[in-house]
Copies of this chain bind each other. A is one copy, B any other.
Amino acid sequence: MPVFLNATDPDFESAFTALLSAKREDSPDVDATVAGIIEDVRARGDAALLELTEKFDRLKLTAAALRLSAEDIRTAAASVPEAERDALRLAADRIRAYHERQLPEDAEWSDDTGATLGWRWTPVAAAGLYVPGGLASYPSSVLMNAIPARVAGVPRLAMVVPAPDGILNPLVLAAAELAGVDEIYRIGGAQAIAALAYGTETIAPVDKITGPGNAFVAAAKRRVFGKVGIDMIAGPSEILVIADADNDPDWIALDLLSQAEHDESAQSILITTDAAFGEAVAKAVETRLTTLSRSKIAGASWRDFGAVITVPDLDTAAQLSDRIAPEHLELCVADPDSLSAKITHAGAIFLGQWTPEAIGDYVGGPNHVLPTARSARFSSGLSVLDFMKRTTLARMTPAALRAIGPAAETLAATESLEAHGLSVTARLRKLND
């Protein structure tokens, strides 16, 4: 059974705090193993990669076979039924259209001293995209990672995906082709992250690595961070639904289950202004669990981490929501816009009862890679900006230097950085000659 809380109960605060701080994931400590794998790939390149792939994926390859041929990709993509290809195309078009609006603008202006200031955005030169193998090998993730990189203008996009026992998901390859991935390698785990970060004889290194993965992949991304950029380290998925009584309990139950079915560590929370509606939703969840194909996973998540919270009003709901800082937030209320305006911390907001979160996972347009574990307090979902960087620009004229140089000399002196000051002084002296 999930927890049932009522915000007006005297012990609510302690129960809610306990819910917030519940540890949902025990990450196994694989850091030493991962460090060894990375060192091995750095030292021995392809040879290590091939050995590790045989060991972990039971797949014997040659260096030449690490990379999928254009023919391999075309054949796999062509095997995908037309209806699925159409759905992928619709998703890709909508994701592209949304992300194109994120392209940042360069700026350049002159200030009152005559100095020219500004900045310029440029894409990273090469991005690497990790795609998990097996059950979690999602074509939607390929689109959500590759399309922002392409929109950013990244000239080279390399993808790695493990092929355990030689098996690859044709839809993943179809999505990669559609999104414009340049290179695909059939490798996975920490060894694939090491190859992307440091390069091997066959795989050129990249500058930024994104994409989800298991504990080994997460630990490897943490380790190579600094050598390359990485996206976030995502935790288990979460949804918070705020719903009034004017909803179909079954719809809300399905929305809660759509996160719960991802992972036993996922968390689904309902906040409602109507306790009876909360009970009805919990009942609908139980009913759906009797037939759901992933009921074992979804049931465990709902039982261990699910919660139904009754609040006296929507203002209280907004306050609790900000303390949860959910990855996904559904606002199934009469006026979702005015409730949304009261929310500060959330990865993605889905407004109104016609916007189930699953729309955002696939075809809405916004990215589905979002901050988990309360990190929406300080971070954002994946975007075009993650594949770009900003160079600041400054150009002084003699007059500008005359105007602001003396202040720089003064501050350099206070920091005892003599050469800093002298680099200004020498120029000002020339101007005053």
Contacts and interface: CB of A to CB of B under 8 A. Distances in A.
A204 B101 CA distance: 37
Given A345-B122, A391-B346, A395-B352, A361 B138 contact: no
Contacts of A226: 233, 373, 375
Contacts of A251: 423, 426-427
Nearest to A291: B418
A77 B362 CA distance: 55
A430 interface: yes
Given A251-B427, A262-B417, A389-B378, A91 B394 contact: no
A288 interface: yes
Given A373-B226, A426-B248, A140 B395 contact: no
Interface stretch (A9-17, A109-117, A177-185): A109-117
Contacts of A91: 407, 411
A394 B366 contact: yes
Interface in A81-107: 83-84, 86-88, 90-91, 94, 97-98, 101-102, 107
Nearest to A136: B415
A104 to B, nearest CB: 8
B351 A426 contact: no
A407 B86 contact: yes
A352 B426 CA distance: 15
Interface in A122-175: 122, 124-125, 135, 138-140, 171
A408 interface: yes
Given A378-B208, A398-B354, A411-B139, A361 B420 contact: yes
A263 to B, nearest CB: 11
Interface in A404-426: 404-408, 410-412, 414-424, 426
A270 interface: no
A400 B348 contact: no
Of A353, A418, A421, the most chain B CB neighbours within 10 A belong to A418
A74 interface: no
Given A351-B395, A390-B380, A358 B426 contact: no
B383 A390 contact: yes
A214 interface: no
A78 to B, nearest CB: 16
Contact of A294 (B360, B367, B379, B418): B418
B408 A377 contact: no
Given A84-B414, A371-B389, 7 more contacts: A88-B411, A119-B366, A139-B411, A251-B423, A251-B427, A359-B408, A363-B411
